[in-house]
Every structure is written in C-alpha cells, then in structure tokens.
Structure 1
Amino acid sequence: MTAAPLRPGDQLASTVCGTRVVVIRVPADRIPVLACGASPMVAATTVTAASAVGGGAAVTLLGKRYVDATDSVEVLCTAPGSGALSCDGEPMTIKAAKALPASD
C-alpha cells in the first residue's frame, strides 16, 4: 500500500496522542511520511477525540510551525499533544521566526 500524497491544507491527527496538524507546505516531487510519537499520522477525519487520548506534558505546541530537516515540509500544530513530530523518520523542529526589518 502506498501513502497518499500530502497537499497544503490537509489535516492530520496522531493515533497515539491529541496532536493535530495542518499541512502548510510540501514538495510536489516526494511523498513524506509524517509521524507523531513514532506512529504515522492519519487524516484527521478518521480519528475521533475519544480514540486520540494521551497523557503527559505537551511536546507538540499549539500554534507553532514545524519543519523537517530540509525545510521543505512545513506543518502548523492545531492541537497540542505529548508525541514528537517526525518526517521520514527524522525529528521535526519548530520553525524560527523571521527577523523583521528595522523601522528606524
């Protein structure tokens, strides 16, 4: 079974905790595998709130953008959770904010 290609706007949910993300950017030439807590993420419509339970401190933070090591896959966290995000087996990191130009 091959994974379905991701598109900007796709909503994904973790199967091991309450983490939910929206895909912001994904390259057209590859199909990345996004995971949370080492378990592949699935379409958010297939996960009910009762099945996505998990305790512990939030590792994936609400409102933060996460990018892969090559900065080509970007997701936005819409619900925090205790699982760490990864893309193709590599950990995703919080995207750094862009510096604003000086106004003086």
Structure 2
Amino acid sequence: MTDLSPGKRLRGKVSSTEIIVVRPPAAPVELSCGGQPMTADLAAGAAGASTTENDTVLGKRYVDKETGLEVLCTKAGPGVLSANGRQLTLKAPNALPASD
C-alpha cells in the first residue's frame, strides 16, 4: 500500500491517469486505476486517450466516503479509480449562495 499523504502524486500503471491526494484516508487503502495499483513513479504508465464514460476526468475530485479519501485528477485517462476495490465517486461541486 502506498503512503497517501496530502499532495502525493500518483499515476496509473496501465493508463495515463494522474492524480494528487487532496485528503488522505482515515485507514490505509490500496488505490488503483483500471484494476491495477497506482504508482508514485510518474515516468511509468501507458499513453492512452479517454474513450469511455468511466474514464477519469481532468480537474474533477473523486472521493471514497468510507475512508474519507479525496483525490484530484490532474491528467485524464482511461480506467476507473478505486480504493480497496470500491469505485470512487465523483464529488459534487458546492453550491454558491444566491446573490440577489
């Protein structure tokens, strides 16, 4: 399992997806993309274009409600982000107050 401290950058081993940890998990987790564990080696990974609806999206935050993990996608790519086999969910943006 990788140390998931805030600011840690990770990359998928089988995709071009790159993320940065925004909020670390409460308990250790195995973070993966496309079914393979993510790595801190930013030179690793395969090139690939996003082609499916399950791809990670640039600039979006993904969360695992069970552990509190929150990550930000810094490079889009194919594959689903998951923590201990649970798919991370897309974090909804906070609503701004109305300014009448």
TM-score by length of 2: 0.86
1:26 alignment partner in structure 2: 24
2: CA distance, partners of 1:5 / 1:86: 16
Q: Is the 8 A contact 1:69 1:90 kept in 2?
A: no
Where in structure 1 are there 5+ consecutive unaligned residues?
none
> How far apart are the structure 2 equivalents of 1:47 and 1:22?
11
Task: Give 1:55 shift.
Answer: 4.7
Bigger mean CA offset, 71-80 vs 53-62? 53-62
Equivalent in the alignment of 1:38: 35
Which amino acid is 1:68 matched to? D
| Runs (5+) with no aligned partner, structure 2 | none
Alignment of 1:1-104 (within 5 A): 3-27=1-25, 29-43=26-40, 46-48=41-43, 51-55=45-49, 57=51, 59-70=55-66, 72-104=68-100
Sequence identity (%): 46
Cα distance change of structure 1 residues 92 and 16 upon mapping to structure 2, 3 Å threshold? same
Are the equivalent residues in 2 in contact too, given 1:15–1:47 (CA < 8 A)? Answer: no
- What's the TM-score, normalizing by structure 1? 0.83
> Which portions of structure 1, spanning 4 or more consecutive aligned residues, are displaced by more than 6 angstroms?
none
Query: Retained in 2: the 8 A contact 1:60–1:80?
Result: yes
Give me the whole-angstrom Cα distance separating, in 2, the residues matched to 1:72 and 1:39. Answer: 21
RMSD after superposition: 1.8
